[in-house]
Amino acid sequence: MKNIRFGAVCAAAALAVAGIAWSGGAQAAEYVIKLSHVVSPQTPKGKAADIFAQLVNERLQGKVRVEVFPSSQLYDDNKVMEAMRLSRSKTVGLMAAPSLSKFVKFSGQLQAFDLPFLFDSIGDVHKLVDHPVADKMTDPLKSKGLRALGFWDNGMKVFSIKGPKPLMDVPDDFNGMKFRIQSSDVHSEMIKALGGTPQKLPFKEVYTALGQGVVDGQENAWSNVYSKKFHEVQDYITVSNHSYLGYLLVVSEQFWSNLPAEIRTELEKAVKEATMANRRFAAEADSGDRLKVEQAGFAKVVDMPVEKRKAWRQVTMSVEDKFRDEIGADLLKEIHQVLDN
């Protein structure tokens, strides 16, 4: 209850920033959507989830109620996808926005988003997700019981480390170091190419794993570093912007296809509005949360010189070759064409 109230406060604040009016209030409804995510409500995903919930709760009062469960309160990402796939309820639906890196079991194509140095900026990411080619990456999900509703941003990732110096020279600075990664095989190969040892761990375990030295470092976007206090247990952060952290908002296909068409249309409209707000929140967090980390004075933030970036790009080029078949050679070609235009 306390968390729902906290979520409502965050939602009202987020809506105000997004310029959308909200009147709030929980009501009984014909359909309930439980939206589960793993990050803090103050992050771009957390705020977008709250906005979506409040838009729906206001516009579809009595018909649909969305309840948001942040910070892995309900499920972690891998568990929520299984729960969504198994769920048979026609009135209570599960929704989540796991990171794109967590969909490998359901769409080999989505692994393209994890490739190091594929995107030079978030502008590049938007070129891809706003292009019809993105549908080819999400289409396989339907037959696995998941319906894709929208792509949400976090941002480009940076690398943090507990150690004597920032991660800069490859492979030397990675040698002998263990890095927490998400459940992505692309990330695993990337860490190995950089010279380090990867270890897959759920997001909720990262802070403790860093603090107890189970792993030496991790990669993430600024809002996650700041909101989960990773910078307090790390010595250096290298602004590598080496790959993208973004999300796919998904809902259980069974629940979705049972909803009346006019409700689906309203929900899709709310997703679009929340997506636009999410992009603004992500852009703000990218610079704002970096600044907060710098001001906190725990980990030292180090920018990456162009020639070092070139060296990282060079040593990780083999990763794309390794995943070309799983992603699909033709699809990968198309993705590059979209990005080059």
User: Which residues lie near ligand LMR (CB under 6 A)?
Assistant: 38-39, 99, 154, 182, 203, 220, 224, 245
**Which of residues 131 and 280 has its CB atom nearest to ligand LMR in the complex?**
280
**Count of Cβ atoms closer than 10 Å to residue 91 Cβ:** 11
- Whole-number minimum distance, CB 23 to ligand LMR, in Å? 29
> Of 43 and 254, which CB lies nearer to ligand LMR in the complex structure?
43
Shortest approach of ligand LMR to residue 39 CB, angstroms? Answer: 5
Q: Which 3 state secondary structure label does DSSP give 118? A: coil
Residue 218: name the closest of 176, 175, 178, 170 by CA: 178
What residues are paired with 152 via a beta bridge?
247
Least distance (Å) between residue 264 CB and ligand LMR: 25
Return the closest-CA partner of residue 32 out of 95, 93, 96. 93
Cβ contact 238:308 at 8 Å = no
Q: Give me the least distance between CB of 6 and ligand LMR, in Å please.
A: 19
For ligand LMR, give the closer residue by CB, 109 or 182. 182
Minimal distance, residue 74 CB to ligand LMR, in Å: 14
Q: For ligand LMR, which residue has the nearest CB? A: 99
- Minimum CB distance to ligand LMR smaller for 38 or for 167: 38
Reduced to 3 states, what is the DSSP secondary structure of residue 54? Answer: helix
Length of the chain: 341
CA contacts within 13 A on the Cβ side of 198: 16
Element spanning 47, H or E:
helix 44-59
What is the C-alpha end-to-end distance of the chain, expressed in Å? 49
Identity of the amino acid at 17: V
Nearer to ligand LMR by Cβ, of 154 and 254: the residue is: 154
Closer by beta carbon to ligand LMR, 60 or else 148: 148
* Shortest reach from residue 152's CB to ligand LMR, in Å: 10
